[in-house]
Amino acid sequence: MNLSYCEGNIAGGETVFFSVVIPTYNRKPILEKCLKALEVQSLSPNTVVSDYEIVLVDDGSTDGTLEWLETNTEEFPHLVTFEQEHMGPAAARNLGVEKAKGDTIIFIDSDLVVTENFLQAHADALTEGMKKLGNDKFFTYGAVINTANFDNPTSEPYKLTDYSAAFFATGNVAIPKHWLKKAGLFDTSFQLYGWEDLELGVRLKNLGLKLIKCPKAVGYHWHPAFDLDQIPNLIDKEIQRGRMGVLFYQKHPTWDVRMMIQMTWLHRLLWGILSLNGALNERTMSPLLRRLIKAGKPQLALELARVFLNWYNVQGVYAAYRSAEKEHKFS
């Protein structure tokens, strides 16, 4: 069977070439683990994977990422590296797709550490999808497990909070390259944090693509354990996500998108009640959060902090929406 894709059909040949596209920005320590995990992939004897490449796009890192890669090239025989000025992950992924040699793109983030059967699991799911659907109008979506364990990220068990209902997210997904190009790739006007992958997902869904879950392709998403010093950056991200959410809605003014970006009366009511209309915030909750962190429960502290983080997000969405209305961007 061939996983060399053409629209709606299986073309000749019997192999697939993966291009794993990774944007990165100032993540050198965890990037090393990410790349090393991809270099030790275990493929089955009868695999359809002919070969693979790791397409890394450095988005203007200032932490010595490129210099480190230049002095360690022998460790990463599958790696090809490109660089750009700091333009955000959408532009970086687009560059990676354009430079990719493979017929199938796998997107992961540079803070994701995969298991040794990661590529084989995606290949198996793609093969089964082709058999089931009779065409290549689908993508495979692997599992992402969040962890704060830097030394051994793959030891983290799956948690309820790891569940994602997203249709298309770039943390762990494999898709025929030609569908990405037909959809128009990522919209680079999403220059702040959030929504560029889900917006592309809407366009892919409109083309008729289906999602096939691939739970055996597991990636461990590392982030440092929550502490109070992270709060200003987290708040800023939520405000940015609100602004990009309005851009998302401008492109796709549907109820589904409003629900995704939390631009509904229900979300205003929910987070207004839970945060006591903003009275529970980073200042008033800091004593409780600090106690939980000191007690060794940073994840619980983060879940509680999401109350005011979501409040900031909703406020950011509506502030951006009002600003857009003033500029007559909505009819």
CATH value at residue 100: 3.90.550.10
- First-to-last alpha carbon distance for the chain, in angstroms, is 50
pLDDT at 262: 96
Per-residue pLDDT, averaged over 286-314, amounts to: 97
Query: What domain count does the chain have?
Result: 2
Average pLDDT of the residues in 231-250? 96
Domain limit, last residue, from 222, 251, 278: 222
Give the pLDDT score at 10.
Answer: 31
Out of 162, 193, 222, a domain closes at 222
Helix, strand, coil tally for the chain in percent (to 5): 45, 20, 35
Least trusted range by pLDDT, from 5-19, 78-92, 98-112, 174-188: 5-19
Q: By residue range, what is the domain housing residue 304?
A: 228-326
Query: Looking at the whole model, is its pTM more than 0.95?
Result: no
Residues 236, 309, single domain; the answer is: yes
d(CA 230, CA 213): 32
| Same domain, residue pair 11 and 35 | yes
DSSP state of 206: H
* Of 6 and 76, the one with more pLDDT: 76
Domain final position from 161, 191, 222: 222
Taking the C-alpha atoms of residue 206 and residue 200, their distance in angstroms, rounded to an integer, is 10
